[in-house]
Amino acid sequence: MKKQIEHGPIHKGASGGWEIVFDWDLGRIVEKEVEILSKILRERREPPKGFIDCVIGINITGIASHENCGHPSEADRILGREGAQAGESFLNREMWGQRIVSEEVTIVDDPTLEGSFGFYLFDDEGAPTQKTMIIERGVLKGFIHNTSTAKRYNAKTTGNAGIISQRSSNLVFEPGDYSFEELLSETGDNPMLYITSSRYTRFTNRAEGTFSSIPRDGVFLIKNGELWKPVRGLRISDNMLNIFKNTVGLSKERQQIKWWEVTTPTVSPFFLVRNCLMTRATQ
């Protein structure tokens, strides 16, 4: 009999003392993860395909914010100053003040948030850090700068200088109005999935944000506002900007995320997104 294996990494971290570890209640987290993975092995079924409404977890929104707001808002990419990355940002100066995503989405770069992964007081040029609005209720409000790019934009540094060039530091979403359970209840007439995490996100066009990614660590059909049957064998084949454009609700609860595919620390809620394009993992 062929053995089936499921695994689910847990990402936790913050700046502080041992009290943070105690507050996490790691035993409860592991028990919940084991319960989810056991359910996947016992009850999984064939997944739906096509445009599916989804509640998506923090790992995926972390990737989306990293690629949709973090890198594209870095002024050197917009200027095309990095030879290997010139043209990678879909943002430009003419978009400033325009609505580019759903009005549900507000995101700031905030290294001043104490206790977070991305907390620091001064950047690599010695400039004090600050909270920088990138997108406010769907409208592009600003870019992040070091002293060099700020001069080109007739602006001031935002305290985001790295050793070579500026980088987003700590991307923070404003919370929404929904509980997690209320997001699940917004099923409507379409099939709906809860996607906890994703791996191996690869871009076919970074300037446009077109990507594919394989959901992992638990994907569930939602029925009558509750997690129902687990599925596997799916691939998300969509556009990062579309994920934010089609966002219709966010949770009040937020979590921190940072790992090898989300290198920029992110504080994110759960997202309710309409019409995510899902294909089979073999396609």
Q: What is the pLDDT of residue 138?
A: 93
Tokens 């064939």 sit on residue? 46
Is pTM, for the whole model, over 0.85?
A: no
Are 144 and 134 within 8 A, CB to CB? yes
- pLDDT per position as a tens digit, 109-135: 999 998 888 888 999 899 999 999 989
- pLDDT per position as a tens digit, 142-180: 888 888 888 888 889 988 887 766 778 888 999 999 999
Structure tokens at 256: 């921190």
The Cα–Cα gap between 176 and 235 comes to: 27
Q: Which residue in 96, 104, 106 sits closest to 73, CA to CA?
A: 96
Within a domain: 70 = no
- pLDDT per position as a tens digit, 20-42: 777 877 777 777 777 766 666 66
Name the E strands within the chain.
50-56, 107-109, 132-136, 139-140, 171-173, 192-205, 210-223, 226-230, 234-239, 247-259, 262-280
Within a domain: 231 = yes
Three-class DSSP category at 92: coil
Within a domain: 201 = yes
- pLDDT per position as a tens digit, 60-109: 777 766 565 555 556 555 555 543 344 455 666 777 788 989 999 999 99
Within a domain: 218 = yes
Q: Given CA atoms 32, 55, 62, 38 in this order, what sign does their dihedral have?
A: positive
- Express the helix, strand and coil content of the chain in percent, nearest 5 each: 25, 35, 40
Within a domain: 255 = yes
Within a domain: 253 = yes
Question: Which residue segment(s) compose the domain that 209 sits in?
Answer: 18-64+177-280
- Backbone dihedral angles phi then psi of residue 50, each to the nearest 5 degrees: 100, -155
Q: What is the pLDDT of residue 85?
A: 45
Are 176 and 251 within 8 A, CB to CB? yes
Within a domain: 197 = yes
Within a domain: 123 = no
If one counts the domains in the chain, the total is 1
* DSSP per-residue string spanning 252-267: EEEEEEEETTEEEEEE
The Cα–Cα gap between 252 and 228 comes to: 23
